[in-house]
Amino acid sequence: MTIISGKKREKIDRLAELAAREEERGVSLWQDAFRRLRRNPAAIVGAVILAIFVLVAVVGPFFVPYGPTDTIGIREGVVRVGQGLIPGHSAEHWLGYDHQGRDVFSRMVVGARQTLLVGVVATMIGLAIGALIGGVAGAAAGLGGRWGRWIDTTLMRFIDMLLALPSLLLAVSIAALLGPSLTTVMIAVGMVSVPVFARLLRGSMIVQSNSDYVLAATSLGVRKSKIALAHVLPNSLAPVIVQATLTLATAIIEAAALSFLGLGNPDSATPEWGVMLADAQQWIGIRPALAIYPAVAIIITALGFTLLGEAMREALDPKLRK
């Protein structure tokens, strides 16, 4: 009787159980997605941009060489707006002065914090309200029954009305209602993204409600409310999280737009990129760089969020998973 040598047998056994060769513990979907994220160059570029941005926004203001409201250029007499004199970059002032003689570099760094704050808070407002409405509507639609359909229809008609208003118009009216301030900008930008989150979560939940594992849970005898919370909701969150990342980018741009229109913080003591951009337009003939700095900063930050968001979408897409 032939006996297969131990070594060869081991080899076959090893190859025959490919699955068992992997790590001891299972890899959850989130871990799996994170792994794929790390392999995606776009995600890395996005993450690096954002890391720098967040670092600057959080610790930067403690290390700026000049106060953001210090009109040093006027004091020293180098900035004379009347004569069209706003000096550019120098060794002391890396990005030069603005029209009030303030150090632009310091203002950019301090402005990063405001910009991040606006973006995050606005997105949070949108996410919280949108997810609440969408989640309730989605759960109600999934639970079925006449009441469920009624709740779903009512909520979604409300969202449709929000969606029917042009976003900028909505933001402008909110800002006009509350008076121009940073809070106004955050609420306005947040409200604009509410319908997006609500529709997304509801749609995603309805798709999940129709899936076989929900049917399986029902046939196990699990309560509807538990199914909605334990199965449907967690599985519907991925697109919402991706959308939140992408919304951060648009929120920053929209906040800048609102500030640019004069609906932002009227007090220019706290610099903000959008306001800086708005202020710079007066002097664009004398020194266009004043507009370019905040514009480029806004674009790069938004790009960072978009890159990361798109990469996350790819990583979380079940169709691309093998």
Q: Find out whether 282 and 228 touch, Cβ atoms under 8 Å.
A: no
Counting residues that bind other proteins (by CB under 8 A) gives 56
38 three-state secondary structure: helix
d(CA 103, CA 73): 8
CB of 200 to other proteins, least distance (A): 15
Segment lying near other proteins (by CB under 8 A), choices 102-110, 117-125, 173-181, 224-232? 224-232
> Is there binding between residue 83 and other proteins (CB under 8 A)?
no
| HSE-up of residue 272 (Cα within 13 Å, Cβ side) | 31
Nearest to 115 by CA among 275, 289, 281: 275
d(CA 239, CA 317): 9
The answer to whether the Cα torsion of 301, 304, 307, 313 is positive or negative is: negative
d(CA 270, CA 50): 22
- What is the residue whose two structure tokens read 């514009």? 295
Among 8, 77, 269, 285, binds other proteins (CB under 8 A): 8
> Is there binding between residue 52 and other proteins (CB under 8 A)?
no
Segment lying near other proteins (by CB under 8 A), choices 10-18, 91-99, 180-188, 288-296? 10-18
Among 99, 102, 113, 231, binds other proteins (CB under 8 A): 231
CB of 39 to other proteins, least distance (A): 4
> Is there binding between residue 286 and other proteins (CB under 8 A)?
no
> Is there binding between residue 318 and other proteins (CB under 8 A)?
yes
**Nearer to other proteins among residue 30 and residue 94 (C-beta):** 30
Give 135-140's long-range contacts (Cβ < 8 A, gap of 24+): 135/201, 135/202, 135/205, 135/233, 137/198, 137/202, 138/201, 138/202, 138/203, 138/204, 138/205, 138/206, 138/209, 138/232, 138/236, 139/205, 139/228, 139/232, 139/233
Phi (first) and psi of residue 80, to 5 degrees: -130, 90
Among 28, 62, 77, 164, binds other proteins (CB under 8 A): 28
Among 114, 167, 235, 245, binds other proteins (CB under 8 A): 235
- Exposed, middle or buried, 33 (CB in 10 Å: 0-12/13-18/19+)? buried
Site for other proteins in 186-215 (CB under 8 A): 206, 209-215
**Nearer to other proteins among residue 87 and residue 148 (C-beta):** 148
Q: How far is CA 255 from CA 61, 76, 294, in A?
A: 21, 34, 13
CB of 62 to other proteins, least distance (A): 39
> Is there binding between residue 217 and other proteins (CB under 8 A)?
yes
CB of 176 to other proteins, least distance (A): 31
Among 26, 77, 82, 285, binds other proteins (CB under 8 A): 26
Segment lying near other proteins (by CB under 8 A), choices 44-52, 138-146, 173-181, 286-294? 138-146
Among 18, 91, 164, 269, binds other proteins (CB under 8 A): 18
Residues contributing to the site for other proteins (CB under 8 A) = 1-5, 8-9, 11-13, 15-20, 22, 24-29, 32, 39, 141-145, 148, 152, 206, 209-224, 227, 231-232, 234-235, 318, 321
